[in-house]
Homo-oligomer: A and B are copies of this chain.
Amino acid sequence: MENTRQIGVQNKQSGRIYGGESAEERLARQRRQFLDAGLELFGTVGYRATTVRMLCKQAGLTDRYFYKTFTDTEDLLAAVYTESLDQIQTEVITAINASANEQLANGAIDAGLEAFFTAFENARVARVCWLEVLGVSPRIDELYTKRIEQFADLLLDLGKSMLPDWRLPEEETRITGLALIGAISQSALHWLLEDYRSSRSTLISANGRLIRGLINTLPQGV
């Protein structure tokens, strides 16, 4: 009874080459195709109007491969959102670091804002990150919350490093960071919804003013 299994032993995780790709390469490529399809469809027709069939057609694959990598369209949405924000966050950090060595807070602020708004000039990315991701499910809501908090922390760390004696209470600091992210993201959202009517420099200027204004109100210990 057990020796019958010996026949089928090697077909378990054979993962042979097909079309010049290994099993892992195929899986990775399929995943990428679905991620691209997700960004395209979620960012244009929207998440709730996107079906598995549409995603497969856009990706040029069949549903079998969709379910091999993702459990749900919600699962794919989370992956697309995470990837987009990962990249943007990296770009913002890079931009800040590149200009922060001058020890000039203003330069770092503007550089960060510039990188941020430049990234969201991609309407699909903007739509997914600010419009489609909200109110989908508790799981996605939590993902969103954590990501926003992450961004707020990034901003606050930058601020604290530049203002050595930070005197605001912990809780108010947290809320202030979130509020700032809210200001920046609402700007980006309206930019998108108004078809990028305003210029990027105006957004940077307005939000930079907000940030600098905040810094001035901080209780100074010096």
Contacts and interface: CB of A to CB of B under 8 A. Distances in A.
Contacts of A187: 175, 178-179, 182
Nearest to A145: B193
Contacts of A216: 213, 216-217
List the number of copies, as a whole number: 2
A141 B48 CA distance: 14
A142 B195 CA distance: 12
A179 B184 contact: yes
From A185, A194, A217, name the one whose CB has the most chain B CB atoms within 10 angstroms.
Answer: A217
Interface string A173-212: 0111011111111110110011000110011011101101
Interface residues of A, number: 49
Nearest to A209: B217
A199 B193 CA distance: 32
A205 B170 CA distance: 13
Given A48-B135, A172-B202, A190 B217 contact: no
Given A142-B193, A172-B202, A212-B217, 6 more contacts: A141-B193, A148-B186, A171-B198, A172-B206, A179-B183, A210-B214
